[in-house]
Structure 1
């Protein structure tokens, strides 16, 4: 009962994680669609050159404006934030070309960095207050070149051009009262990228970038919602609470049923409370172990939560029986008979979840369940009790031989499914394996250069991480 309750809890945890990922993935898909719609609007604009302002030699000016706004909006849509760039409230031939975060922007796409600065100064002279309320965009390659010149890296530029750039930058800063980098900022495009013969390729390049960024974002969502050690710890902690609650309720009910003591009437003695406390503590401990194991089985072996719960119950029961057998308290036949009953719950649940629509005749149902239970017993015992597995194999061979061909086919498919478990049960209950997993994960993180301050090395580190705001 307790293990099934823990199975339901862990199943709910897994379902909640999967549902959360589905919601986020759907939202990201919608964000990508919105980003592509922004790029489609841009394609519609550049697809009709006759409607673009200017001559064939100057149309790139308005194209640069459209590319700037479309790309910025697409990136914001993809990041699921409110688009910051817009043409809303801006006249087509106004001193302002577009707005970003509500700030006026004037785009200057002129051939040559020095010529671009000249255009900026002319605009500042005509619209003297513009520098107080807005800024300028110039091609990003020209902006980078100007910054290099200011650092002394002049490249192949003539001395005259270098002096002119220095003088115009100084004049821009003096006139605006602000640093050059705040008044004049880089566009998303280079001068060449917005030319009529090049812009289609530019748009395709941006669309490919958006697609790659979207794939990265979707991968981040998927990775964030994968099973993890941290969630496994949470599952174990929650399962401990479930186990404690079941242990407490069960003991209190037995006290009432068997001894007539009503906890709600204040009839419990100190000894009664000690028994209840011990039962609750055992329930918590068992729940924690079961929770961790069920979490591993559902997420690593793709078992359903009910099947995993039954599987864990069988594993715990088998551990007790094998201990009694080795201690001489059970004979070999008694061990096998008792083990069959212990594993019957897991066998029934496994049959229901794995057989699907397969019809198994009622007269042979017991034989099929016995065969599945035998498979469980062999899995739990492994090679540690060869005499048991040999005797069990003989018994199962006779049982299977009595089944018809159709039923044997179904049974074979069920056994193949159980074979997938391998040593997973052992690993799920092996504390040393979990310790090695932590050590291995630390080594992997260090190999990838993760900062030591970010690593979770101890229980206290994990507690601090889990409780951090």
Structure 2
């Protein structure tokens, strides 16, 4: 059994590393997203600082909204980019305050035109600017206009009905659109694009509320991103398959090494060509068996550590004990060992798991050495009962009687400790038994659907068949 324990603990270590790496990546990603959000909020704060000093804003009280719109545009676009992990996309750097362009977006010059009324924005704003700078769009420069005005223009161009505009106004808008396209030699959508704000949102009396709304949007987006990060770092079938593959390799390697050592003890040196064809055949079978058992053990440990909240050493010990008890119980049923033999050897096998269980669940509880054996015996007995599954009842009844005798030797304080640890054992339910049942694993997908529904998972988020699983992992 020592080789088995070593193998399972090695597999447990690999599983622990897989889990630890995933959790470390999750923490790192969440911290990085916190940094992204802080940079985004800082951009909003820069705009707040600017609009908080209206005496420094160009224009009269009636026209200051023009420069406010520019600041909001640059700040919010950068904030959205930073939130997604991007860099600066908009800037005033290299653009004079009274230059033909107001700012740059993705290294392209942009002129912001925010007038009251669509015709004023297109006529006085865009066309008027083209009168002074006819080549402004020749290097892909373009205009930003109020988002709500752009939406109305978009409806007009698509022939959709528009409220609160008469035929004369619509005709005038179309005329300005035609003139803009004629002057620039480009389509309207290439020359004029929507800003991030409506006209009313960037006025002196409303801009503070506008910035509050933008920050709330950033907070909501940030929360969704962090939720996605958490979901992306949950245990998965793909990672479970990775753990299974590694465990199979470990199982095969340890079995092969053990086989070499066994033959070496028998006086045969594999490196000197002293193994017979039959020896190599046995080694091959043992290695293949080790790979299969290792893979099953790895899958079980991945499930135990991620879905039953067990530590990797405890999961390894539980898996080792599971296989040991299964082998003993088979010998007992065949009449090859007595109940006393089964009990004694089973308790020894489960003792390791019990000791790890004490360390895992008892924590800081100090248990005197004189009663330690009784505690371990009680836990080992409980574990034997859990790992045996369904029986005729006679064997389990006998084991429970022995376990009660162990527990009776404890005083009330340590009976409470045992009760606490046994509660943790019982949380395993049939998970360990199920992990080693090949027949049950054939129906894994069907049972996972039932489990998801039992836990209230939304129906449209449940993977119900192989096609759903393939679509999920290949999309």
SS of aligned partner of 1:160: helix
Give CA-to-partner distance per residue, 1:52-111, whole Å, 9 cap, x none.
111111111111101111100000100111121111111112111110110000000001
* 1:124 aligns with one of 118, 124, 130: 130
Q: Is the 8 A contact 2:300 2:436 kept in 1?
A: yes
Aligned to 2:417: 410
Structure 1, 159-168 or 426-435: larger mean CA deviation: 426-435
Q: Which residue does the alignment assign to 1:79?
A: 84
Question: Do the aligned residues in 2 keep the contact of 1:114 with 1:164 (CA within 8 Å)?
Answer: yes
Contact kept in structure 2, 1:442 and 1:455, CA below 8 Å: no
Q: Which residue of the other structure, out of 209, 212, 234, is the alignment partner of 1:204?
A: 212
CA separation of 1:405/1:447 partners in 2, compared to 1, >3 Å: closer, same or farther? Answer: closer
- How far the C-alpha of 1:432 sits from its partner, in A, is 4.5
Provide Cα deviations, 1:297-346, integer angstroms capped at 9, x if missing partner.
00011100010000001111111112222222222222211211121121
- Alignment map for 1:117-266 (pairs within 5 Å): 117-118=122-123, 119-133=125-139, 134-152=141-159, 153-257=161-265, 259-266=266-273
Task: Report how far residue 441 of structure 1 moved.
Answer: 6.2
Q: How far did residue 3 of structure 1 move?
A: 1.1
What root-mean-square deviation, in Å, do the aligned CA atoms of Structure 1 and Structure 2 show?
2.2
SS of the residue 1:208 aligns to: helix
Provide the rounded CA distance (Å) in 1 between the counterparts of 2:228 and 2:403: 48
Q: CA offset at residue 147 of structure 1?
A: 1.4
Q: 1 CA distance for matches of 2:441 and 2:215?
A: 44
Residue in structure 2 matching 1:31, options 21, 36, 56? 36
Q: Secondary structure at the match of 1:193?
A: helix
Gaps of 5+ in 1: none
State the partner residue of 1:394: 401
TM-score (norm 2): 0.92
> Quick check: 1:47 aligned with 2:52?
yes
CA deviation after TM superposition for structure 1 residue 430, in Å: 3.4
- Alignment of structure 1 residues 346-365 onto 2, 5 Å: 346-365=353-372
Structure 1 stretch displaced more, 163-172 or 266-275: 266-275
Asked whether the equivalents of residues 297 and 428 of structure 1 are also in contact (C-alpha less than 8 Å), the reply is: no
CA distance in 2, matches of 1:261, 1:121: 95
Q: What's the TM-score, normalizing by structure 1? A: 0.93
Q: Is it true that 1:62 corresponds to 2:67 in the alignment?
A: yes
For the 8 Å contact 2:463–2:469, the answer to whether it is kept is no
Determine the structure 1 residue equivalent to 2:115.
110
Pairing 1:295-306 to 2, within 5 Å after superposition: 295-306=302-313
Q: Is the 8 A contact 2:91 2:103 kept in 1?
A: yes
Alpha carbons 2:321, 2:349 under 8 Å: kept? yes
